[in-house]
Amino acid sequence: DIVMTQTPLSSPVTLGQPASISCRSSQSLVHSDGNTYLSWLQQRPGQPPRLLIYKISNRFSGVPDRFSGSGAGTDFTLKISRVEAEDVGVYYCMQATHFWTFGQGTKVEIK
């Protein structure tokens, strides 16, 4: 199984300041079709997961452009350029190259 490891697990941030979450996979996420199926999900309290970014860097419909994704191979990053109050929640990286596995989650909260 592919193991996804996120850091940090908790990220207290000041409103308007940037935040960054890293995700590392235990093996390359490059699929045989040439795509890398690495996504980022946001889960607000009491809500289902919401897709933010797919295939490393593609923002999903309706996602604000303050969210961006980058990376390749086994190392990936989600960045929030300026954190807003509505960004509070838990963020998961997720791989779908070989079935699905998820990172442990990173809790983003306001300082």
Partner 1 sequence: EVQLVESGGGLIQPGGSLRLSCAASGFTVSNSYMTWVRQAPGKGLEWVSVIYSGGTTYYADSVKGRFTVSRDNSKNTLYLQMNSLRDEDTAVYYCARSLAGAVYWGQGTLVTVSA
Choices 19-27, 43-51, 71-79, 80-88; region in contact with partner 1 by CB under 8 A? 43-51
Instruction: Tell me if residue 23 falls in helix, strand or coil.
Output: strand
Q: Is 58 in the site for partner 1 (CB under 8 A)?
A: yes
Size of the site for partner 1 (CB under 8 A): 22
Choices 12-20, 67-75, 80-88, 95-103; region in contact with partner 1 by CB under 8 A? 95-103
CA distance 26 to 93: 13
Instruction: Tell me if residue 87 falls in helix, strand or coil.
Output: helix
Nearer residue to partner 1 within complex by CB, 37 or 82: 37
Nearest to 84 by CA among 20, 19, 23, 7: 19
Choices 11-19, 32-40, 72-80, 81-89; region in contact with partner 1 by CB under 8 A? 32-40
